[in-house]
Structure 1
Amino acid sequence: MPVRTSSKIQSAGLLLFRRRDKHVQVLLGHPGGPFWSRKDQGAWTIPKGLIAPGESPRSTAQREFAEETGHCPAGQAIPLGSAKQPGGKVVQAWAIQDDWDPAHLQSNTFEMEWPPRSGRRQSFPEIDRASWFSVAEA
């Protein structure tokens, strides 16, 4: 059961950043699965997930990043605060400076019935790709 605060679902995530030619770039992931397969605009996000009971938000952020990318960033986590998503979920985020190559992405998977009402279950990666973006692009 996810952690709720004031009836709001809580999640936590990490935003990797790096410096390139005096500019900051941030790493975002694209959600996997058929719903997102042809959507890019507004789809990219930080790797994040629901906070489990007894788990700290910071630990959740680290765990979810590792599960969704296959990478465990090292470094000092900088608290970024929280943001409320349109659906009401509150996301707590931290930033870590790390120059990871998204070509090494190894995401965990989820299962769902696809196509709908087909009776067939298929597996899809939680994140199907990751990329570095300028702050303006992000």
Structure 2
Amino acid sequence: MAKKNSAGILLHRLRGSRIEVFLVHPGGPFWAKKDAGAWSIPKGEFEVGQDPLEAAKREFKEETGFAVEGNFIELTPVKQPGGKVVYAWAVMGDCEAESIKSNTFSLEWPPRSGKRKEFPEVDRAGWFTPEVAREKILKGQLNFLEELKRKIENNSVSPV
């Protein structure tokens, strides 16, 4: 069976002279009390034959309610321990983290209760400095933050 792949967007902005990155927190009961190491770039799975960047834009909209456009800079894909490859693009932009509107998923909850509940795929979002984002983001996505930082420092990505 082929491994699923994901695609996502690392949105960033400049506040004063500081860069900030946009991360989302997964919804649902399993993540409700987790914070450090639980946040992610908005992302989702895509099928073979689909354009990964278009999938990343679609997933960003589904998880946040915001459309994102701009100069997308491809980041180096990362392979997760389970074999899934995550593709990502950095783009300069802005949105109101407090105003996200996420799609939902259905889950039997409580377990073995026979009852299904709807949960938001993303329950909150936030803008973080790179230092704070390093603590918040899933370890498997840390390379995206590091690569964005290097690209900005090397002037291969403009922070504005």
Same fold (TM > 0.5): yes
Aligned residues: 133
The residue that corresponds to 2:19 in the other structure is 24
Question: Which deviates further from its counterpart, 94-103 or 80-89?
Answer: 80-89
Three-state SS of the structure 2 residue aligned to 1:131 is strand
Conservation of the 8 A alpha-carbon contact between 2:11 and 2:92: yes
1:74 Cα deviation from its structure 2 partner: 1.9
Alignment correspondent of 2:68: 73
1:55 to 50, 58, 79: 50
Match of 1:46 among 41, 49, 71: 41
Unpaired runs of at least 5, structure 2:
134-160
66, 79, 99: which one aligns with 1:104: 99
Say if 2:112 is the partner of 1:117: yes
2:89 aligns with: 94
Aligned counterparts of 2:74 and 2:82: Cα–Cα separation in 1: 23
Per the normalisation by structure 2, the TM-score is 0.79
The CA distance in 2 between the partners of 1:134 and 1:110, in whole Å, is: 30
Moved over 6 A (4+): none
Compare the two structures and name the one with the higher strand fraction: 1
Q: CA deviation at 1:99?
A: 1.4
Question: Comparing both structures, which one devotes a greater share of its residues to helix?
Answer: 2
Residue number in structure 2 paired with 1:83: 78
RMSD: 1.2
Deviation at 1:9, TM superposition (A): 2.4
**What's the offset of the Cα at 1:70?**
0.3
**Distance in 1 separating the partners of 2:36 and 2:82:** 18
- Work out the CA distance in 2 between the residues paired with 1:74 and 1:83: 23
Q: Is the 8 A contact 2:4 2:47 kept in 1?
A: no
- Please give the secondary structure, in 2, of the residue aligned with 1:34: coil
Report the equivalent of 2:121. Answer: 126
* 5+ residue gaps, structure 1: none
1:55 CA displacement: 1.2
TM-score, normalization: structure 1? 0.92
CA distance in 2, matches of 1:100, 1:108: 17
